[in-house]
Structure 1
Amino acid sequence: MSKNSFGQVYRRLSSKVLDLVVKPRVLGEVPSKKVTETPTEVPTSPQAVCYVLQTYSRSNALVIDGETRRLGLHPALEPLQLNELSEKTSVFFLQQKETTYTTDNKHSLPPKLVHLVEFLEKHPEADIQLIPVTVLWGRAPDKEDSLLKLLFTDTWATPSKFKQLVNIGVHGRQSFLEFHPEQSLKTLIQTAKEQNTNLAPSTYIVHHLNQYLDRQREAVLGPDLSDRRNVIQSIIKSTNIQDSIRRESLRSKISLFEAERRAVGYINEIVSDYSYSTVRFADMALTRLWTQLYDGVEVHNFNTVRELAKDYEVVYTPCHRSHIDYLLLSYIIHRRGLMVPYIAAGDNLNLPLVGQFLRGGGAFFIRRSFRGNGLYTSVFKEYLYSIVSRNTPLEYFIEGGRSRTGRLLPPKTGMLAMTVHSHLRNKGKNKPIVFIPTYIGYERLMEGSTYIGELQGNPKEAESVLGLVKTLRKIERIFGKVHLNFGEPVFLDDVLKAHQADQITIEKNDDPIPPEVSTAITSSAYEILEKINNAAVINPVSLISLILLATEKHTLDEELFIKQLDTYRNLATHLPYDDRTEVTSLSGKEIIRHGIKLKLLKRVQHALGDIIAIEDNQAVLLTYFRNNILHSFILPSLIASLVELNGKIGRKDLVNVISMLYPFLKAELFMKWDGETLKPAIEQYIDALTDAQLILNEDNILYSPQPNTIAHNQLVILGASVKQSLERYYMTLAIITQRGSGNISAKQAEDLSYLLGQRFSVLYEYNSPEFFDKSLFQGFLKVLSQKDYIRTNEKGFIEFDEYLTNVAQYANLVLDDVTLQMLQHITQFSDEELKEALDALAAQNAKRRLKRKAKK
């Protein structure tokens, strides 16, 4: 038997043995099959394909060969033939096999690459597509403290033969393979020559491909990580922390030893203890949990993240709907082949057992407030700096806490500011930072009932092990589908440049943030929130909620309901809020069936046609899901409301009224349009509603359809979605104008709006959570001030002129007479009634604070 024949037999036998043990999972995109050939076929076109591995490994080559055959690609261990060029295999290694202890062979150029380059220089009409490939056996980052862990995990070091055998045995079913985009060898040769360096083309190509594969590897493994003990030691020994310890000693009048012990305590309280075994366990456990709990988890636009992870430090900034968010996002990132991010978690989650598990999954803990504690602040900043310096991916919730209403909360910029501070301390030494706005959408929430209770005045439920057990009891219930949509990235360097802050550096831990950087941080926070909303997923439950909550009794004739669902879907599909917005593919009938399955809807059978209603006690909870997508329909809703209420309105007048109201809606709902893009968007929605025959257009006069027609009923339902926002705006305006200029403070106006909102909701609505959310009234007053509608004098009282009174009078264009009368009635009160109400609220707040302190 010839040597070549023996090699083929050996390869086939090795492949069969390896196939019994190794089941690799392919990450990312698979190469195009345009380069596929049969094993005996000589290509007629002057092009071939060759796979590139970084380090020599026969088992890796066998794995790639098996996968290329399974995927119908050109097999890696079949000959590479192109005209007179003939190589035994179609794969080469950038780092060569080391044959002796003294040889330098592993640092020499790959012979096969040299042959390919020489061939293309002689045949410029030909080309060879290089496909870099990453193979990983397990995905634990390097740990310095354990030889056992190093033995059983894939690291940055090239494995020995023995370790590779262990890898195959231990990680055979946790192996990962990723084909990277094809690179033209001819183009690489040309680039090497254009660089005008002294490097030969082959040397340049090896350097280029090594750097490229290093970036891919880091995106999956993350950077080399030290163990927790070494991290703590490096932080405590840093110059910044030693200075802080000395200041703490002087300030608190304690010894240096005691101050250092206090610092170590803070570090232990904060620092993560990332463990791949914890991640593997969580992966298996969560796979079962999602299967039991949800009908599926749908992920959109993850390829954006995969590409960015190679060249940027990724900071995931999702919205915060549920405690499940932590687990879900890390699970998806891990399953899609990237490193699990380090997560900033509130110290309220640092519970017995649970806290240690979360630490193992990458969580580090932060106190809700540490203002005035200089040592804690310094320790936390130094730890965050160590994470950023190692280009470790991060995750934190830009809203700070979980939303209780389903709307995005105003941003809390603390973590964002400290991330930027760390980046500027290490500027030029680390990767640029990219923020990934991430929308998470549910169809049912575990915490839903507690959210509503908290908004209606019940004390916030503290996290506890008992509370977790109660939550886990709900696992047998079906919670529908979950959607993760990764939004358009926000590049930190671009934001800093836009605010003339790109040349600023920071040297020390306690250096203040310059004003230009502070402005850039605020800007990036709002941009992240807007892009989270841009990536909203309009799912069946959110559509059901949007429509039925807009009806008086939360019921609809089934035929009209189906028409309304299909109209909303068509509007969102043909005129999407944003390119990243996703819309359910279910039809109106299918959406109703889905709502009944989730026990959110019920069918009331009737001889004249079935009626669909919200299930008992579900209306308030459904406001949460309506609010997830309210921003997507707010402009068409406002158009519909103005046209229907007024019967007819000039197109120009409608645009002007909406332009006046829009800044308040933008601030409340974090909408994307600005002064330049708003009017074209309004015009597009007017045309879309005209095409749908929900409004009529004659000579730029917009008319409402005839009453009691299906089109008119649809218009009324569509227009109702914006009604509650307008009611809240008018309520606050009425309070301010009724009291008169200079007679009420901003705090009093906010508190009174909050109290009257609660009363109005109980009397005339259905305990709608929006009227119990103080932040919405705060936001409205803030925009009034920014627009100079109101001003605060030196005594803290609100002053205004006739312009604000005129604005308040516009209410008759956007609210019906009955609603206006109700609002005018409840906002009329005397000085004594004002004082009595505010005193009662202050006493109520004081009582809650005492309860919270008692629990602590």
Structure 2
Amino acid sequence: MQSKVFEDILEPRRTELCHYIWISRRIDAAIAFKQRVRPNPESHKEAVLKNIQIQEFLDKISREKNIPKQYLETQVQLILDEIGYNKNLRIIRGLALLLIKICLKVCKGIYINNDSILHTKTLMGNNPIIFVPSHRSYADFILMSFVCFTYDVEIPCIAAGMDFHGMWAMGSILRDTGAFFMRRSYNNDYLYWTTFKQYINQLVINGELPIEFFIEGTRSRSNKSLMPKYGLLNMILKPLFLRQVPDIIFVPISISYERIMEEKLFSYELLGVPKPKESTSGFFKSLSIIKESYGSVHLNFGHPISGRKFFGEKLQTSHHSIGSIHQQELSEYDKNIIPSLAHEIIHCQQKLSILNIINLIALLVNHNLSNCKELLSYVELRDKVLWLKKMLEELGANIWCTDVDNEIQEALKVHNNKIILNNGKIDVARENIDLTNLNVTKLKAHRLTEEVMSYSVPLVMLYIYINPVLHHLVDLAIIVAVFKQKVQITIDDLRNHYIYMRTILLYEFVTYFPDIEKEFMKAFSQSITLELIVKTSDTNYSLGKNEDMQEILLSSIQPFLYSYYKMVIVLETYGSCDEKKILTETQKQIVSEMKNLFIHPYSLNLDTFSHCLSSLTNFKAVERVKSTNGLSYNVDYEKLLEIKANLEPYILELYKGKILTTLSKHKL
């Protein structure tokens, strides 16, 4: 059973006289997968170079391209030197000391569900262990290593992007603490790709350290789950499917932040301002975070998932029994069943996520703004937080709250760059943004003015704290949105509308399509329990009396539906064109309409535009075309207009009566 008891691992550090004594202690770290001969970073690289699959591949290239094999082996060695991790305990101890000092200054606490990580330790030794944390911040892999150091678990080998590899000094420091580097694309460099796959194979079969990777592939700038990537997962699972290891244990982990240190950077990126290139100087500039407070962090370790048990009878190995094992690859059948595990890991991360009071406050403030209501007083906010907390807990949310008054006051203090008390009312902070030094040639979409950015950034930052709640709400929100149009409807018609809208939003709110019927029935049952809908006859249902929750649900998905609708309009207007034009024109049209209607600035975010294009591609309403000039899209007008017709009633209902009059201060 999942432990709900969390311990603050910073607490012992606060009371000790000397941190150096603790970080320099003798460590007898738990090993993930015991080997007869203990490997080291260099032995892994040597084993890959000598591997029969690599050698046969080099022989083939040497013959076909008339290149000396010795030269090719040198290239493989260079690739391995680029990829390979290292382990330097002195550097690990030094970074632990630095991290303690920073965390004690900026964090209220780092909370771990102690029983779960101790249970994971009991499983170590007999099988490869794979840590799969959510990815919301660069701090994720640092905190994961610090937790392992604290609990005497071997620091994992961590899959890191090449962005970090080129950072002066920092690249080698990360490598010395277990990072191995992977290119995001290999541009048909099959020598690199074959070497990298064999390196992963070596770490899984013959490595003794845990492996850590982010199944979403990149940081989620929006602070909600992204569609899982299957490439690295396929590589890790290959030895299980080929019976080269008895089992592989996956540990899903949710890392939840009360405040994300990159929140402002993410807001800029979502609005189209490109992120700065990772650099060592940029890293040291980021240390200015020690002047601010970031509240608490929760690392919630989930129940370990046995790959062998998860796949069960589906783990067919008969088709891998013919021929030499080094010549075999995953079959199409294998690749088709692996996504179910990827989605299960994402689902576990969502269930494990910890919400803070700021997530509830953000949802309530957003609801008031979206519905052009008066600002909440502190007392009104407190009452609504308590009410919303109860609602969310009925939906299965884990909410960190020991004393609601203290938590609200702490949230207002930690997030005073977004939310302020203005004459006793809860208001959104404003800031003046200077774009004088912006390189407009690198903008991903429309050039937003300083006025638009100053208005939008705080509201987009605030939405980043709404997003972690939405996996609890999106299914209910769709059901309520359907009823807003239909008034009365049968469960079968409701199911059809739900499945259609859920499919439209497939990339926005991650779901595993084979489970969509089960998710509908769960949401339908919850809607009745919360009195969102009520049975009115033998076959029909209509909206229930819980109007406050209905409004919150609708306002929570409003920006996404609006973004999708506007992009469809742009594609209808401009037809087949390149991606940048689509993004630019969609942002331009939304900004134009924001002057008279309350359109949430989160509707401008490029992540949602990207998800919309993926969804339209999935519906075959557009066709994605790759060329040397980038991406472009060809439009199928018949299918596009069908989607427009299906989205339009939702937009008309959601924005009915939302013309800004009394709240003119929120105009641009």
TM-score range (shorter-chain normalised) is 0.7 to 0.9
CA change 1:378–1:642 in 2 (3 A) is: closer
Shift in alpha-carbon separation, 1:347–1:748, aligned structure 2, 3 A:
closer
1:381 pairs with 2:166: no
| 1:419 equivalenced with 2:259 (yes/no) | no
Q: Is the 8 A contact 2:134 2:255 kept in 1?
A: yes
Say yes or no: does 1:663 pair with 2:503. yes
Q: Is 1:716 aligned to 2:551, yes or no?
A: yes
Matched, 1:239 2:52: yes
Aligned equivalent of 1:594: 410
Whether 1:491 aligns to 2:327 is no
The separation in 2 between residues aligned to 1:254 and 1:792, in whole angstroms, is: 37
Show CA shifts across 1:588-620 (max 9, x none): 544431221112421122xxxx31112224222
With over 3 angstroms needed to count, the CA separation of the structure-2 counterparts of 1:806 and 1:620, relative to structure 1, is closer
Partner of 2:589: 759
2:261 counterpart of 1:446:
yes
Corresponding residue of 2:283: 468
Partner residue, 1:611? 425
Match in the other structure for 1:563: 383
Q: Note closer, same or farther for the CA distance 1:298–1:251 as it changes in structure 2 (3 Å cut).
A: farther
SS at match of 1:322: coil
Please state if 1:574 is matched with 2:394.
Answer: yes
Aligned residues of 1:272 and 1:364 also touching (Cα < 8 A): yes
- TM-score normalised by length of structure 2: 0.77
Q: Give the corresponding residue for 1:728.
A: 563
- Worse-superposed segment, 527-536 or 502-511: 502-511
The 8 Å contact of residues 533 and 670 in structure 1, kept in 2 or not, is answered as no
Deviation at 1:224, TM superposition (A): 5.3
Matched, 1:397 2:214: yes
Are 2:138 and 1:323 equivalent residues in the alignment?
Answer: yes
Structure 1's 385 and 329: CA in aligned 2 closer, same or farther, altered over 3 A? same
Query: Comparing 775-784 with 389-398, which one deviates more in the overlay?
Result: 775-784
SS of structure 2 residue aligned to 1:556:
coil
Q: Secondary structure at the match of 1:816?
A: helix
| Alignment of 1:814 onto 2:656 | no
SS at match of 2:163: helix
Any idea what SS the aligned residue of 2:136 has?
Answer: coil
- Residue 317 of structure 1 deviates from its aligned partner by 1.8
Q: 1:53-106: per-residue Cα shift (whole Å, max 9, x none)?
A: xxxxxxxxxxxxxxxxxxxxxxxxxxxxxxxxxxxxxxxxxxxxxxxxxxxxxx
Task: Quote how far apart the aligned CAs of 1:516 are.
Answer: 0.9
Under a length normalisation based on structure 1, what TM-score does the superposition of the two structures give?
0.61
Instruction: Tell whether the 8 Å contact from 2:30 to 2:121 is kept in structure 1 after alignment.
Output: no
Q: Which amino acid aligns with 2:164?
A: L
Q: How does 1:741-760 map to 2 (within 5 A)?
A: 744=575, 752=582, 755-757=585-587, 759-760=589-590
Secondary structure of the equivalent of 1:317?
A: strand
Aligned to 1:528: 345
Number of the residue aligned with 1:39: none
Is the CA contact (8 Å cut-off) linking 1:566 and 1:587 kept in structure 2? no
Name the CA distance, whole Å, in 2 between partners of 1:777 and 1:567: 33
1:626 aligns to 2:466 (yes or no): yes
Pairwise CA distance, 1:237: 2.7
What is the deviation of 1:327?
Answer: 0.7
* Alpha-carbon distance in structure 2 between the residues aligned to 1:755 and 1:488: 46
Q: 1:35-434, aligned counterparts within 5 Å?
A: 173-174=25-26, 218-219=31-32, 225-250=38-63, 253-300=66-113, 301-350=116-165, 351-391=167-207, 392-424=209-241, 427-428=243-244, 430-434=245-249
- Shift of residue 460, structure 1, vs aligned partner: 3.0
Offset at residue 660 of structure 1 (A): 3.1
Cα distance, 1:326 vs structure 2: 1.0
CA displacement 1:222-247 (0-9 Å, x = unmatched): 88533333333333233333334444
- Aligned 8 A contact 2:222 2:266 in 1: yes
TM-aligned CA distance change 1:575 to 1:237, over 3 Å: closer
Shift of 1:748: 5.9
Task: Output the CA distance in 2 between the equivalents of 1:655 and 1:559.
Answer: 39
Distance 1:757 1:631 in 2: 26
Aligned equivalent of 2:602: 768
**1:222 & 1:719 partners in 2: Cα distance?**
55
Query: For residues 282 and 220 of structure 2, what CA distance do their matches in structure 1 show?
Result: 19
Distance 1:302 1:807, change over 3 A: same
* 2:366 is the counterpart of 1:546: no
| 2:466 alignment partner, SS class | helix
Superimposed CA distance per residue, residues 429-468 of structure 1 (whole angstroms, 9 cap, x where no aligned partner):
x341122222212122222222222233323321110110
Tell me, yes or no, if the aligned pair for 1:770 and 1:776 is still in contact at 8 Å: no
- Quick one: distance in 1 between partners of 2:128 and 2:25? 29
CA RMSD across the alignment: 3.8
Structure 1: distance between partners of 2:94 and 2:526: 49
| Displacement of 1:570 | 0.8
Larger Rg: 1
Query: What CA distance in whole angstroms lies between the structure 1 residues aligned with 2:35 and 2:399?
Result: 34
- Aligned-pair CA distance for 1:518: 1.7
CA drift at 1:573: 1.4
Structure 2 stretches of 5 or more lacking a match? 4-20, 432-457, 626-631, 659-668
Kept after mapping to 1: 8 A contact 2:554/2:654: no
Unaligned residue ranges in structure 1 (runs of 5+): 1-27, 29-168, 177-215, 706-710, 823-856
Query: 8 Å contact 1:792–1:798 — kept in the other structure?
Result: no
Is the Cα contact below 8 Å between 2:34 and 2:125 reproduced in 1?
Answer: no
Q: In 2, distance between residues paired with 1:470 and 1:597? A: 23
Q: Which residue does the alignment assign to 1:98?
A: none
- Contact 1:436 / 1:490 at 8 angstroms: preserved in 2? yes
Q: Distance in 2 between matches of 1:172 and 1:294?
A: 23
Residues 820 and 421 (structure 1), Cα distance of their counterparts in 2 relative to 1, 3 Å cut: farther
In 2, the alpha carbon distance for the partners of 1:347 and 1:435 equals 24
SS at the partner of 2:135?
A: coil
How far apart are the structure 2 equivalents of 1:758 and 1:496?
Answer: 48
Deviations 1:353-402 (A, max 9, x none): 22222222211111222242222223222222221112531111112222
- What CA distance in whole angstroms lies between the structure 1 residues aligned with 2:24 and 2:206? 29
Once residues 445 and 424 of structure 1 are traced to their aligned partners in structure 2, the CA distance between those partners, rounded to angstroms, is 38
Alpha-carbon contact 1:640-1:718 (below 8 Å) kept: yes
* Aligned-partner residue type, residue 650 of structure 2: V
Quick one: distance in 2 between partners of 1:449 and 1:813?
34
The residue type equivalent to 1:584 in the other structure is W
> Could you say what secondary structure the match of 1:551 adopts?
helix
Q: SS at 1:669's partner residue?
A: coil
What residue in structure 2 maps to residue 459 of structure 1? 274
User: Are 1:758 and 1:772, in contact at CA under 8 Å, matched by a contact in 2?
Assistant: no
Among all aligned residue pairs of Structure 1 and Structure 2, give the percentage whose two residues are the same amino acid: 22
Aligned residue for 1:411, secondary structure, equals coil
Worse overlay, 661-670 or 473-482: 661-670
The corresponding residue for 2:449 is none
What whole-Å deviation, never above 9, does each CA across 1:543-566 have from its counterpart, x for those lacking one?
A: 222222233269434344333322
Q: Is the 8 A contact 1:222 1:339 kept in 2?
A: no
Q: Which has the higher contact order (CA 8 A, sep 6+)?
A: 2
* Number of residue equivalences: 588
Q: Which residue of 1 aligns with 2:335?
A: 518
Cα 1:659–1:559 shift into 2, 3 Å: farther
Q: 3-state DSSP class of the match of 1:397?
A: coil
CA 1:274–1:474: 2 relative to 1, 3 Å: same
